[in-house]
Chains A and B, each alone.
Chain A
Amino acid sequence: MLAELATRLAAVGRRKLGRSLSIREVDAGSCNGCELEIHALNNVYYDVERFGLRFVASPRHADVLMVTGPVTHNMRQALERTYHATPDPKWVVAVGDCGFNGGVFAGSYACVGGVSAVLPVDLHIRGCPPTPIALLQGLIALVESCSEGR
């Protein structure tokens, strides 16, 4: 499974991205479950950096914002600022069931809702949390669909 995904990603990544896609992760209200699995993408089993997928420390360096959590009211402004600090062209990936529609926290006074309530979302990766394999599949789908610019 992993090997098959890796081959696909390597081929498409080289063609479309010139082997580089920089991802800035933003926790906008998550329980931290999604972060744990996103972290796993960097361990030696998945090692996404070998495909040119890199998690970067600043939105200024990012092509993709990977956003988790129901967006809380207390994080909304920080998320918006991070988005505006990311240069175009950029893509937003909402991770997790909470990022999709607020999940079990939907309807709370403290939550805005899913990521798409605040930012334009290009791709949702569902799951509570999504497994590293599901995250990889999602990233491949994103890479495959983002043709020259937007």
Chain B
Amino acid sequence: MDIKEDLRERATVVETQRPWSRFAVDADGWRRSILAAAQGSATMVGLWSDGGAIYMALAEEPASELVVVSLACPDAHFPSVALSHAPAQRLERAIADLYGLVPDESPDTRPWLDHGRWGLSHPLGQHQAVAGEGAPYAFRAAEGAPLHQIPVGPVHAGIIEPGHFRFAANGETIVRLEARLGYVHKGIEALMAGAPLAEACHLAARVSGDSTVAYATAFARAVEAALGISVPERAHWLRAIMAELERLANHFGDIGAICNDASFSLMHAHCGALRERVLRCSGSLFGHRLMMDMVVPGGLARDLDHDGERHLTALLADIRLHFPPLVRLYDSTATLQDRTVTTGIVKAELVRQYGAGGFVGRASGRAFDARRSPGYAPYLALDLDIPVRHEGDVDARVRVRMDEVDQSLSIIEQCLGRLTREPVRTDLAPGRLAAESREGIALVEGFRGDILVWVRIASDGTVACCHLRDPSWFQWPLLEAAIEGNIVADFPLCNKSFNCSYAGHDL
């Protein structure tokens, strides 16, 4: 790995981070890392802080590992990444809001998560009490005689999460969209700090409810890496089964919802039924329809019984019977495709620059999937195709997800065939804790894309610091690009085809 070789010569390896190395760099090393991301020789997959330093995770695709670089910020300043690499903008603004670290020469100094309503500034840094009445937000101007603005949200018309969209439109055509997020910011990183592992795991499982298995797995894997714990093989197979059930449920729900936004409610009804059957099966197998709190550091909180395997096999057969006709229905409905084809196109170059994961990236030619690269157990031992399309429109995003349904079914089947008989949990005995603090990092593929979790565990076994980066951070900005030149009426359709997380992004 080029960056790693370069860093070995110039930077200090921090030994406490597992499984991938962290390099403590100086300002020059920091700028070289920014350059690597900006020039495209590496993809920036995360940017975060613990208050004392700033961290950047990079991947050289296809990546077998991530590289983390960190820069100490004793004077609370750091060279802005966003100045040369736009995907860092909102992450940098969030760091400035939460920690009070200043990105020098940042191109956008507006607050992001901080709406001026917390009653304090820099809650995770040197905080001070401030007025909490809210601050006005300066949206980017789009001016000219024919333009008008359409403000939408934060409370939306459907049963969805809150966020604000500001459209500048010329008649029906959208000239600019700017999103304002942060409405559901709950202060999760602050709640994590000092929390015992079990409590922190509950929080991780509630970062984004639709990805609870993926988040809990990412958190558990980071903790297990930090503490050097190996998980029983059976737990790996079962985690994958749960993760794929979660993916299926979300894909069914969203494929139906996208079609519904194009006024084709028949698909919505059928897909909704499939989703419900997946949730009911998950509920009967694991005692929770969304499988919340099943994945824990060390393994699983609950095992699957013999009956469970039978139910799963029946579910797979049920889906294989009922889903293909729905794909054919989608294929043969011209009025539906009239809405989805060529709508909301994301260019391949943008997807690459932003390192956009999930179906957003894969529908625009970026064949990245964390299950394969860097890869983790048990996926490296499984047959898995990564469906990729190049059109980048709503239709491509739908079709990638349809293809992923087939892959998930195959993965569950493969896992069922290899289930070993053994316990599903390794005890996190206190003896495993080291005298010094340890760091762990993990990249896990949720239904929406790759979730990054970085955790530092204190010597007393509590979480000292934890950062959870939702895939949406690198997808939300692309929605703004995708919608340009489309009509206002197609926004719900485009938005649903992205289905970015508000909760996961706002933390």
Instruction: Write the residues of chain A forming the contact surface with B, with a CB cutoff of 8 angstroms.
Output: 25-40, 42-45, 55, 57-59, 69-70, 72-79, 81-82, 103-105, 107-111, 128-129, 131
B430 within 8 A of A: no
Pick the residue among A39, A42, A72, A109 that contacts B120 (CB under 8 A): A109
* Residues of A with C-beta under 8 A to B275: 40, 43
Q: Do residues B185 and A72 form an inter-chain contact, with CB atoms below 8 A?
A: yes
User: CA A34 – CA B209 in complex, angstroms?
Assistant: 8
Name the interface residues of B360-417: CB closer than 8 Å to any CB of A: none
Q: Do residues A57 and B161 form an inter-chain contact, with CB atoms below 8 A?
A: no
> Of B152-160, B168-176, B310-318, which stretch is located at the interface?
B152-160
* Residues of B with C-beta under 8 A to A34: 209
* Residues of B with C-beta under 8 A to A129: 209, 290
User: CA A111 – CA B188 in complex, angstroms?
Assistant: 10
A32, A57, A73, most chain B CB atoms within 10 A: A32
User: CA A25 – CA B162 in complex, angstroms?
Assistant: 11
Q: Do residues B117 and A73 form an inter-chain contact, with CB atoms below 8 A?
A: yes
Q: Interface majority SS on A: helix, strand, loop or mixed?
A: mixed
Q: Do residues A29 and B186 form an inter-chain contact, with CB atoms below 8 A?
A: yes
Q: Do residues A111 and B207 form an inter-chain contact, with CB atoms below 8 A?
A: no
B203 within 8 A of A: yes
* Residues of B with C-beta under 8 A to A40: 272, 275-276, 279
Q: Can you list 25 contacts pairing A with B, beta carbon distance less than 8 Å?
A: A26-B155, A27-B159, A30-B503, A31-B207, A32-B210, A33-B212, A34-B209, A35-B159, A36-B290, A39-B253, A43-B275, A45-B273, A72-B186, A74-B182, A75-B162, A75-B183, A75-B184, A78-B154, A79-B155, A81-B155, A104-B203, A105-B187, A105-B191, A108-B191, A111-B186
> Distance (Å) between the CB of B333 and the closest chain A CB?
19
* Residues of A with C-beta under 8 A to B190: 108-110
Name the interface residues of B258-299: CB closer than 8 Å to any CB of A: 269, 272-273, 275-276, 279, 283, 289-290, 292
Q: Do residues B187 and A110 form an inter-chain contact, with CB atoms below 8 A?
A: yes
User: CA A131 – CA B161 in complex, angstroms?
Assistant: 19
B139 within 8 A of A: no
Q: Do residues A44 and B273 form an inter-chain contact, with CB atoms below 8 A?
A: yes
User: CA A47 – CA B155 in complex, angstroms?
Assistant: 24
* Residues of B with C-beta under 8 A to A31: 206-209, 212, 503
Task: Contacts A35-B160, A36-B210, A44-B273 given; indicate if A82 touches B155 (C-beta within 8 A).
Answer: yes
Q: How many B residues touch the partner, as a band?
A: 35 or more
Instruction: Write the residues of chain B forming the contact surface with A, with a CB cutoff of 8 angstroms.
Output: 115, 117-120, 123, 132, 134, 154-155, 157-162, 182-188, 190-191, 199, 202-203, 206-210, 212, 253, 269, 272-273, 275-276, 279, 283, 289-290, 292, 501-503
Knowing that A72-B183, A107-B191, A110-B118 are A-B contacts, what are 11 other residue pairs whose CB atoms are under 8 Å apart, sorted by A's residue number? A29-B184, A32-B210, A35-B159, A45-B273, A74-B117, A78-B154, A79-B155, A103-B206, A104-B199, A109-B119, A110-B123
User: CA A51 – CA B184 in complex, angstroms?
Assistant: 32
Q: Do residues A33 and B292 form an inter-chain contact, with CB atoms below 8 A?
A: yes
Q: Interface majority SS on B: helix, strand, loop or mixed?
A: loop
User: CA A30 – CA B162 in complex, angstroms?
Assistant: 9
Q: Do residues A104 and B206 form an inter-chain contact, with CB atoms below 8 A?
A: yes
Q: Do residues A75 and B290 form an inter-chain contact, with CB atoms below 8 A?
A: no
* Residues of B with C-beta under 8 A to A57: 157-158
Pick the residue among A39, A73, A78 that contacts B162 (CB under 8 A): A78
User: Residue on B with the closest CB to A73?
Assistant: B117
* Residues of B with C-beta under 8 A to A25: 159
Pick the residue among B186, B207, B503 that contacts A108 (CB under 8 A): B186
* Residues of B with C-beta under 8 A to A111: 186-187
User: CA A37 – CA B279 in complex, angstroms?
Assistant: 10
* Residues of B with C-beta under 8 A to A37: 289
> Distance (Å) between the CB of B129 and the closest chain A CB?
11
User: Residue on A with the closest CB to B206?
Assistant: A31
Q: Do residues A55 and B159 form an inter-chain contact, with CB atoms below 8 A?
A: yes
* Residues of A with C-beta under 8 A to B183: 29, 72, 74-75, 78
Q: Do residues A45 and B276 form an inter-chain contact, with CB atoms below 8 A?
A: yes
Q: Do residues B210 and A58 form an inter-chain contact, with CB atoms below 8 A?
A: no
